[in-house]
Amino acid sequence: MSSTRTDSVPAIGGPTVRTGSIPTGAHGLTGAQNRIIWLLLAAAFVAILNETTMGVAIPHLIDDLSITAVAAQWLTTAFMLTMAVVIPITGFLLQRFTTRQVFLAAMGLFSLGTLLAFVSPGFEMLVGARVVQASGTAIMMPLLMTTLMTIVPPHLRGRMMGRVSVVMALAPAIGPTVSGLLLDTVGWRWIFGLVLPIALVALAAGARWMTNLGETRKARIDIFSVVLSAFGFGGLVFGLSQIGGGHGADAAANSLSTVTLVASFSIGVVALALFIWRQLRLQRRDDALLDLRVFRSLNFSLAILQMLIVAMAFFGAITVLPLYLQRVVGLQALETGLILLPGALMMGLLGPVIGRIYDRFGTKVLLIPGSIISSATLWFYATLGEATPVPVIVVAQTILSVGLALSFTPLFTASLASLQPRLYSYGSAVLATVQQVAGAAGIALLITVLSSVAAGAASGGLGEVAAEASGVRTAFLISAIISLPAIALAFFIRKPADSVDAPPMH
């Protein structure tokens, strides 16, 4: 016989929040709770799938819309900027509004943006559509994480986070392949045309089955914090997107790019410092937009630092590998997607298994080998050349995916489980923000290194392909060096005790 326990936790500065029924027994979750989790997983899958299809489409959009490569880059830059601005606000949104309201708003925005992109007559409207899409996408992962932590009993959280790993692996796995097929047959619009009906089905299912999981509190939004957040995180991400933007351009363009980069970083750093100061003051009366008391948990802080390193090293590396396959090995976009597919599928298949291992044995048995395997693969990538056999790359990428799978699930679960339930939404927002900014930093750094080294090698007399290979090796070397601290950190991150409430913070 199973029993049901309902737990209540005090909301920050507001009424008691009822976290929903948390069943105990053989299965642990009710049918309604499982349905909510699957709805959120499906929505997150659609959002990530949409984003991973766009990279392959940029060259086609340059030709079809008669725009420059610099202009086309705004289709990804605008998306990243919007994500960087919206994600830090999600902690407040999840406190102020119900799960149902936030889900319908997020999927509604994403569906609207996808529709606008599908029918877009030109570049300007397409950029606007991407901004609308990103506004919904930014909310989905924090909403998924917060809901999962709220309704899933502690002893089952690892296997549920394993489902999140499946989504994070499968969407990027099939995204480039599907995009390549559509671009070669029916054109770029149908990237959005494929995603739109799936998004609408998820929206309709949410309207039908999504329930409210807790009471809200009447929190007021601090407009000054929103402005500081936008300039802080937005400035940093925009500055990162400008790194290396002047390569191959004339002196005037290089100078303008440098000025833009310095100005963006300066504004971002100053605004971020003011944002942090503002939150520290507001959280004294529980009015912070992003409550930074999450960092009073050492385990959370260490896990976030580990995630920052992982995102910076591996998101950058995962961006460089397709460039190597296309520019050095000479493969097409579709072939590149197929080479990356086995590793991503392996990562997805391992997600639930790794989750069960976490639930039973904790973090170290996963994080330590995971960080070692991932770092070792990057060191191998630093030796890639023009003659490296493709099957070897497939095996290496699959091994790297196993290492990342061993890392992501314990990091997601251990970080948020270290917090009091009332701080889950803020912890999810911090986790997503760190991934976004650190990932952008890693991509910007490695692409800049690749471009600079390749340009220098070419000017020194190397052929185009050999010069590109030299740049790729140097970029992977930087990524491998960045990954090393993750091995040390893996020994210190622990699995919090299986309790509904984390230790109180003073």
- pLDDT digits (tens), the chain, 506 positions: 333 333 333 333 333 333 343 343 335 677 778 888 888 888 888 888 887 777 667 777 877 888 776 677 778 778 878 888 888 888 888 888 888 888 999 999 999 999 999 998 888 899 899 999 999 988 888 888 888 888 888 888 888 888 787 777 777 767 777 777 787 788 888 888 988 999 999 899 888 888 776 566 676 788 888 899 888 888 888 887 776 554 444 555 556 667 877 888 889 899 999 999 999 988 888 888 888 999 999 999 999 999 999 888 887 787 788 888 888 888 876 777 788 888 888 887 888 889 889 988 889 999 999 999 999 999 999 999 888 899 999 999 999 989 988 988 888 889 988 998 888 888 988 988 888 888 878 887 888 888 888 888 888 877 888 888 898 999 999 999 999 999 999 999 998 875 444 434 33
Beta strands in 341-405 (DSSP E): none
If asked whether residues 298 and 197 sit together in one domain, one would say: no
365, two tokens: 């048995």
CATH number for the domain including 86? 1.20.1250.20
Residues 241 and 129 grouped into a single domain = no
Domain match, 142 and 53 both:
yes
Residue 386 lies in a domain: yes
Residue 9 falls within a domain, yes or no? no
Say if 17 falls within a structural domain. no
Same domain, 494 and 468: yes
User: Of 159, 160, 168, whose CA–CA distance to 141 is shortest?
Assistant: 168
**Rg (Cα) of the chain, in Å, rounded?**
22
Provide the token pair at 106. Answer: 């997020």
CB 48 within 8 A of CB 172: yes
Looking at the structure, do residues 227 and 299 belong to the same domain, yes or no? no
Within 13 Å and on the Cβ side, how many CA atoms surround 217?
20
User: Tokens 């999810």 map to which residue?
Assistant: 428
Q: Are 350 and 299 in the same domain?
A: yes
**Residue 394 CB contacts under 8 Å (≥ 6 apart), including other chains:** 339, 342, 343
Domain identity same for 113 and 250: no
Same domain membership, residue 418 and residue 390: yes
Of the candidates 200, 179, 199, 196, the one whose C-alpha atom is nearest the C-alpha of residue 188 is 179
Residue with tokens 């790359």: 393
Shared domain check, 433 and 462: yes
What one-letter code names the amino acid at 328?
V
Number of structural domains found in the chain: 3
What number of other Cβ atoms are within 10 A of residue 440's Cβ? 26
Among 195, 104, 38, 92, smallest CA distance to 430 is for 92
Q: Cβ(424)–Cβ(9) under 8 Å?
A: no
The Cα 182–Cα 52 span in angstroms is 13
Instruction: Tell whether 245 is covered by a domain.
Output: yes
Domain of residue 33: give its range: 27-211
Contact assessment for residue 5 and residue 24, using Cβ atoms and an 8 Å cutoff: yes
CA-based nearest residue to 117, from 178, 176, 50: 50
- CA atoms of 468 and 453, how far apart (whole Å): 8
List the Cα angle 83/86/91 in 5-degree steps: 125
Backbone angles phi, psi at 23, to 5 degrees: -70, 155
